[in-house]
Amino acid sequence: MDMIQITLSDEQARAVAESTPPVLVVNSQGNTLGQITPVDQEALVRALMPPEKWEELQRRMSEPGEYTTLKDIKERLGW
């Protein structure tokens, strides 16, 4: 049997992504249909990204360097 795919609305997908697993799935009558365990986003990104890109991303995150305040950005933009 092939796995079926159910497409969630953007709102539903966001709720699943932001939830603590597992997420209970019910029908319109409130009957339990199953559970969803959200994908580990970091693991997914890491699996899809070339190792050298992942290492560069980790390096940049650990050495953020200088930052600019929102006030400075607004001043530069003339806001």
For the stretch 16-65, pLDDT in tens is 877 877 889 999 999 999 998 877 777 777 777 889 998 998 888 888 77
pLDDT at 77 > cutoff 90: yes
Query: What would the mean pLDDT of 4-27 be, rounded to a whole number?
Result: 86
Residue 24 φ/ψ, nearest 5 degrees:
-80, 135
Q: Where are the alpha helices (DSSP H) in 2-62?
A: 10-17, 41-48, 51-62
Alpha-carbon distance values, 12 to 25, 43, 56, 63, 70 (Å): 11, 21, 33, 35, 32
Query: pTM (2 decimals)?
Result: 0.45
Q: What length does the chain have?
A: 79
